[in-house]
Amino acid sequence: MMQKNECKGCVESVIVSEEVIEELLKEAAETPEKLVLDSVYQERLSICRDCTSLQYGTTCAYSGCIVRYRAKFKRKACPNIGNPKWSKVV
């Protein structure tokens, strides 16, 4: 079960396998009311893919979050406070 803040401590390492990511995405799918539309999700991921802060192709250097997971949630925003590249959905 996810904690109140879905990103903090979601995984033990910043380098994660596809299997772990799939498991996180399955958990996210259990609360569809918290998730953005797929078009928003794809746009967020597109921005992350072009971002120099994306590490290992999976992980945001600012938050340590797996972007494919973080980008799913309406109330999450890009954690680069000085220059956020995508916003929460309200």
Q: Which stretch binds ligand SF4 (CB under 6 A): 6-14, 16-24, 33-41, 45-53?
A: 45-53
CB nearer ligand SF4, residue 34 or residue 62: 62
- For residue 50, the SS3 value is coil
Q: For the CA atoms of 41, 47, 50, 52, what is the dihedral angle to 10 degrees? A: -110
CA distance linking residue 26 with residue 84, whole number of Å = 27
Size of the site for ligand SF4 (CB under 6 A): 12
80 touching ligand SF4, by CB under 6 A: yes
On whether the CB atoms of residues 35 and 72 are closer than 8 A, the answer is: yes
CB nearer ligand SF4, residue 1 or residue 73: 73
48 touching ligand SF4, by CB under 6 A: yes
